[in-house]
Structure 1
Amino acid sequence: MKKYTLLFVLIVVTGLYNTINAQKTKKKETAALQVTQGLQDRQVWVNNLYKIAYPVIHNLAEGTLKQNLPLEIGPQYYLPVKKVTYLEAVGRTMAGVAPWLALPDDETAEGKMRKQLRDELLKGLRNAVDPAHPDYLNFRTEGQPIVDAAYVAHAFLRAPKALWEPLDAVTKQRFIEEFKSLRNRKGAYNNWLLFSALNEGFLLSIGEQYDPARIDFGVRKIKEWYVGDGWYSDGEKFSMDYYNSYVIHPMLVDLLKILVEKKMAQQQDYDQAIQRMVRHAEFLERIISPEGTYPAFGRSITYRTAAFQVLAQVALMEKLPAHITQAQVRGALTAVIDKMYSGNQNFDSNGWLVLGFNGHQPMIADQYTSTGSLYICSIGFLTLGLPASHAFWTDAATDWTSRKAWKGEPVKKDYKVEY
């Protein structure tokens, strides 16, 4: 009898052992699958950002940007395109790739792509401010360079060790003088105030002479134009468009960060701006449809994924609200990026972006939009600045809000906030 009892116990113990092992194996396989899926999502981002940025960065490095960038313009375009479009392309591309290029080198395929772009961009930046170079970029005339110099400044602020510090002393001084040259012009009485302010904020951040009046005026007016619930008015009258994401929240937050560090603003001002930006990110996450589309409303819709800069930056800063997971933001933005760029409808035969929202649609381009303007789309990719090992990329895929809602699953009620 004892023999059979021991045999039974052995069978039970063996069964339990096998079950536990099987469960552990399944958990490992599930975890591995989750990581694989996240890395596949990341690859979608990497491939498409590289696809967008490479023509601009490579041609600037080779001294062929002015030779090869198409000069397609929108209806009733009113700017001298050759004086503005090249700086537009460079500054806007830089602002989007900066966090990604700031990651350390590694021997992965992605790491090699990243290093190539960083090395070429550093080479190109020397060309950009060399008056004797064929790709010398115009900071000195027209109003538009105030805008696109600010995107250059934003890139330097986002990746100082990768993009600013490695520059030689002559190139740095040339950039400083180009930024200072912008002061003999003024821009529009709207989000443009932030461009002037951020240009001066960058100079402040590197210990250079700066204009405090431009900084103070820009910050004060934008704060006055806050209309509530995460939205600023772009000027005195509110417009329903994506300029809160293209410009206002990210530039205000990053400018205030500099001012707090320099004891020129209160921590509570920065914290409040962050709260407002986080609230705006909630709206952006909700407007992404179950299929990865989003509404084409407001001016400058040819800026494409720039509409999601706020959501991408909030995720990069790890400031997402508790009810929005990193994985659902990854899923939502991957769906948008894949739908918009993995095909070739938004590129010409040489790989340059074409005027339009999703395809060649020049009739919807604004009167200030040229090919160079389109490269602002890269700022929707900021979250690539989180390494591949980060939970944003490794957590299990999760449906985003609109997917949950249209499936009849529980979603958080949405109410205005008072910040």
Structure 2
Amino acid sequence: MPRTQDAGSSLPPEDRTLSPFTGYGRAHWLALADQLLTDAHRFASPSGARIVLPGRPSSSGTDSDQLEGFARTFLLLAFRTAGCGGAAPAGLLQSYAEGIGAGTDPRHPEAWPALGPACRQTLVEACSLALGLHLTRPWLWDQLSPDVQERVVGWFQGAWGLGIPDNNWHMFRVIVGEFLASVGAPHDRAEMAADLARTEEFHVGDGWYRDGGDARTADNFDHYNGWALHTYPLLWAQMAEGRTADPDLLPLLTARLRRFLADYALFFGADGAPMHQGRSLIYRFAAATAPWLGALVDATPLSPGQTRRLASGALRHFTDRGFRDRNGIATLGWYGPYPPMVQSYSGPGSPYWLSKAFLGLLLPADHPCWTEPEEPLPVERGDRIQALPAPGFLLSATRADGIVRLVNHGSDNFATGDQARQAGARGSGGLGRTAGDPHYSRFAYSTATGPRHTDAEPARAAQPDNHVALLHPDLGPSGRTRIHRLSVHDRYAASWHRPTWDGDTDPEARIETASVAWGAWELRAHLVDAPPDLPVYDSGWQIAGERPPHARSADGQATAATADGLTSSFVSLAGHTDLAVATAQGTSAFGRHTAVPYATDRRGTTRTVHVALIGLTGRGADPTPPAVQCTVNGATVNVRFPDGTWVLVVLGEEPAQSPLLGGEPLPGRVRYARLTPGEPPVTVPGAGDRLNS
């Protein structure tokens, strides 16, 4: 049995001179890489061909899972070895070389499953193996016997003609093919070109890639944009240097990454936490892959000190909070194990895709990213609101508490028909029973909270966070699945959806929602068109802690606060009849006890408008809601904030006459306006100019 150890032990002393924010330098990255490798390798099979980690098997089965453990830790070994001129923890290079020999020998009892349609997951692991072999070529591949090299090449040939999910998987085959090309082995350049071309179609602008599909069927934007859809094309371009005939492709790829990173640094909280949104979050600090890559290929707007601050902050965030078990093995969760957030395609070895964050070790020890002092993150420099039209996000960062919030009007990971049936292979995790995929369908996410997982609750009792729904007496709250964007601009984002239950959509119902970011607060307005017999449910942030949050509801406000000061507030401005706080256990990856402030409207009319201030504040920030004045005239919402700023939101169809902002009529087709005293109003496109509607 593997020995028990303190999972956070044996790291070097902090260096607060070079790294005033995190204390981490290159030595800490190397030490943790070595810990992860040696601890995982204690679970190696006798031949070394498999890493046999304990835990729930994935939907691909244990053979695939054990290959996954080998391939993903091998990628970590490759970054560590290549970044240190061939140096590696004692014996590991030889052990992995022997494992490759056994794994590719079909006569061996520990042989890997064939790369092919019987187990498509092997293509994912083949990509890690090919990239690792490329990086360690002088010390591993070139030392293998010709027989073993021939077997490896033969095993990789299963990639050609393989039906794969239509998403970032296209790049896995490209990486495999380029490695084969680099060693003079047979490969299908035409199929690689088709995969590259399809990946190009996923780019929507501003450095953002949709993870598969198209705008007619799904909008999938999450961390895969950084740790896959930027990373693999650029690593491929480096592998293919001298063999690709398109001289314009590399400048295009680097320009996209540079543009993406200009916004991406805002996705991290002051405590180092990346945004908790999207699938495969068990990869945790792999979110730092793209910033390291930007430094590696000279395609980043971030200074060296900002790059290391971001990456080391993410690494330390999870190291301090114990992402490994007592044997040093990365768990299936966010901090500790949390099964509800784990997709069916993930097995015990899956978390080791976090190995990608160690790509930074490819930067030599004298690179400025390792030698220059850390610099503050955007959230540490000041409050900021950023509109991201490409993915349909608004970001709001507040310096006082170091939290970054994401308002979501664009990413839904929606699947229909064949897509839904292939959800396990696609990696969508499937759709939730009542409220869609909780990692995509919510109105807001943050670096300090996780969405409510309600699968263990009766459907009719589910109380999702950051959601609006119709309440069916038997089926519970409706879902927000396909998100139809209206606009994203300034502090404003809007979309609409049709309520669904278990995949069935009510064609007569429609909910339009507009959000206006205001520091730690969001002005959220809904226009609900629905049958009069279904009440409306409207909710704020879920917070979590190891002790039950303190909950209170009175005077038009519902609030919950954890012991460490994280506070979720729901302030009704219009359209609600009842307010309360829903408490539960086990519904968040952030803590055992949870609370969600929410409101309902039981008036029973066919068209209703609901307006609220939704707040999330942490320690250091004032949890007191801003004292706003709100008026609702039909579907027009007019709000005045304490500093004198007026905000106007027009829901639904265009008004019969021009709306008023601060008592003055606004010309043209205006759906949103913001007027700060002494400044002209800020407006967004009208209904005729909607984005991806």
The two structures share one fold, judged by TM-score above 0.5: yes
Output the CA distance in 1 between the equivalents of 2:278 and 2:267: 14
**2:287 aligned with 1:303:** no
Q: How does 1:12-411 map to 2 (within 5 A)?
A: 33-34=17-18, 40-57=24-41, 59-60=43-44, 62-63=46-47, 66=50, 68-73=52-57, 78-79=59-60, 81-104=61-84, 114=89, 116-140=91-115, 141-183=118-160, 185-237=162-214, 238-262=219-243, 264-321=244-301, 324-343=302-321, 345-405=322-382
Query: How far apart are 1:310 and its partner, in Å?
Result: 1.4
Between stretches 124-133 and 228-237, larger displacement belongs to: 124-133
- Which whole-Å CA distance do the structure 2 matches of 1:251 and 1:208 have between them? 21
Shift in Å at residue 160 of structure 1? 2.5
Kindly indicate whether the alpha-carbon contact (under 8 Å) linking 2:44 and 2:52 is maintained by their aligned counterparts in 1. Answer: no
Judging by fraction of residues, say which structure has more helix. Answer: 1
Distance between the aligned counterparts of 1:332 and 1:122, measured in 2?
Answer: 34
The structure with the larger Rg is 2
> Secondary structure at 1:149's aligned position in 2?
helix
Query: Do the aligned partners of 1:226 and 1:232 also contact (CA within 8 Å) in 2?
Result: yes
The letter for the 2-side match of 1:239 is N
User: C-alpha separation between the residues in 2 aligned to 1:216 and 1:329?
Assistant: 32
| Deviations, residues 236-282 of structure 1 (Å, cap 9, x unaligned) | 233121112232212112223444511x3312111101211222233
Work out whether residues 221 and 278 of structure 2, in 8 Å CA contact, stay in contact via their aligned partners in 1.
Answer: yes
Name the amino acid aligned to 1:304.
R
Counterpart for residue 19 of structure 1: none
Query: In 2 relative to 1, CA 218–397 (structure 1 residues): closer, same or farther, beyond 3 Å?
Result: same
User: Which whole-Å CA distance do the structure 2 matches of 1:59 and 1:78 have between them?
Assistant: 21
CA contact (8 A) 1:316 1:385 kept: yes
Identity of aligned residues (%): 23
The structural deviation recorded for 1:64 is: 5.9
Paired residues for 1:2-21 under 5 Å: none
**2:340 partner letter:** M
1:293 to 1:64, Cα distance in 2 relative to 1, 3 A = same
Q: Give 1:84 deviation, angstroms.
A: 1.1
Q: What SS class does the counterpart of residue 25 from structure 2 fall into?
A: helix
SS across alignment from 1:261:
coil
Counterparts of 2:106 and 2:297, CA distance in 1: 37
Change in CA separation of 1:222 and 1:67 when aligned onto 2, cut-off 3 Å: closer
Is residue 242–residue 307 contact of structure 1 (8 Å, CA) maintained in 2? yes
Q: Which amino acid is 2:156 matched to? A: F
| Aligned counterparts of 2:313 and 2:73: Cα–Cα separation in 1 | 21
Amino acid corresponding to residue 329 of structure 1 in structure 2? T
> What's the C-alpha RMSD, in Å, of the aligned pairs?
2.9
- For residues 133 and 39 of structure 1, what CA distance do their matches in structure 2 show? 46
Match of 2:643 in 1: none
Query: Relative to structure 1, is the Cα distance of residues 390 and 67 closer, same or farther in structure 2, using a 3 angstrom cutoff?
Result: closer
Q: Is the 8 A contact 1:52 1:378 kept in 2?
A: no
Structure 1 window deviating more from structure 2 (213-222 vs 85-94): it is 85-94
Render the CA deviation track for 1:14-50: whole Å, top value 9, x for unaligned: xxxxxxxxxxxxxxxxx99549999952232122222
Tell whether the 8 Å contact from 1:48 to 1:337 is kept in structure 2 after alignment: no
- Higher relative contact order (CA closer than 8 Å, sequence separation 6+): 1
| Offset from partner CA, 1:70-106 (integer Å, 9 cap, x none) | 1324xxx532x21311222222223333232114459
* TM-score, normalised with respect to structure 2: 0.49
* Residue 66 to residue 277, structure 1, CA distance change in 2 (3 Å): same
2:51–2:69 contact (8 Å) kept in structure 1:
no
In 1: Cα distance, 2:24 partner to 2:314 partner: 15
Q: Separation in 2 of the partners of 1:310 and 1:46?
A: 19
Matched residue type, 1:271: P
Partners of 1:164 and 1:61 in 2: CA distance: 21
- Conserved? CA contact 2:257–2:299, under 8 Å: no
The one-letter amino acid of 2:381's match is K
CA gap 1:391/1:186 in 2 versus in 1, 3 angstroms: same
The 1:268/1:43 distance shift into structure 2, 3 A limit, reads same
Offset at 1:65? Answer: 6.6
Tell me the equivalent position of 1:3: none
Contact 1:143 1:187 in 2 (8 A): yes
Q: What secondary structure is seen at the aligned counterpart in 1 of 2:213? A: coil
Within 2, Cα distance between the matches of 1:150 and 1:387? 24
Query: What is the Cα deviation at residue 161 of structure 1?
Result: 2.2
Is the Cα–Cα contact under 8 Å of residues 60 and 128 in structure 1 kept in the other structure? no
Paired residue type of 1:339 = H
Q: Is the 8 A contact 1:39 1:393 kept in 2?
A: no
Secondary structure of 2:340's counterpart equals helix
| SS of residue matched to 1:227 | strand
User: Which structure shows the bigger proportion of residues in strand conformation?
Assistant: 2
Seen in structure 2, the aligned counterparts of structure 1 residues 163 and 283 have a Cα distance that, compared at 3 Å, is farther
**Cα distance in 1 for residues equivalent to 2:202 and 2:24:** 41
